[in-house]
Amino acid sequence: MAAPPPSLRILVYSDNPQTREAVQLALGRRVHPELPELSYLEVATAPMVIAQLDAGGFDLAILDGEATPAGGMGLAKQIKDEVAGAPPILVLTGRPDDAWLASWSRADAAVPHPIDPIRLGDAVVTLLRLSVQ
């Protein structure tokens, strides 16, 4: 097994700065002792998400499904269709019943608002373990 990178890069997309902050506070600098530290890039617009993911170098993208004007679920579907080598995608849904929409978007995982640090952390650890293998 290859040595893990010095840090794992996570893109956090939401038009709401409080949501971006809540994600980072929930995950912290190290989400699991077996994984490298996390570094974050906050993004507030869909075009910037696409530009950053096109440039590469991310281990995970967390997209707010409630963002406006471009929601994270539609953006996740666009990324899966258009961005070669895209990282795993986690979508924050408006409510637990929206998990079917996250499935439609081809997101790799979904966690509902409000952000539960344990639930978000578990989903992120699962996706990052796949990413660093």
pLDDT digits (tens, 9 = 90+) for 67-103: 999 999 999 999 999 999 999 999 999 887 777 777 8
Nearest to 131 by CA among 46, 61, 43, 54: 61
The kind and range of the H/E element at 7 are: strand 7-13
pLDDT along the chain (133 residues), means of 10: 74 98 98 96 98 96 96 95 94 83 87 96 95 74
Does the global pTM surpass 0.85? yes
Sheet with 109-112: list strands edge to edge: 37-43, 7-13, 60-64, 89-93, 109-112
Q: What is the pLDDT of residue 101?
A: 77
Q: What is the pLDDT of residue 102?
A: 76
- How do the domains of the chain map onto residue ranges? 7-132
Superfamily in which the 7-132 domain is placed by CATH: Response regulator (3.40.50.2300)
Q: Report how far residue 64's alpha carbon sits from residue 13's, in angstroms, rounded to the nearest whole number.
A: 6
Q: What is the pLDDT of residue 5?
A: 56
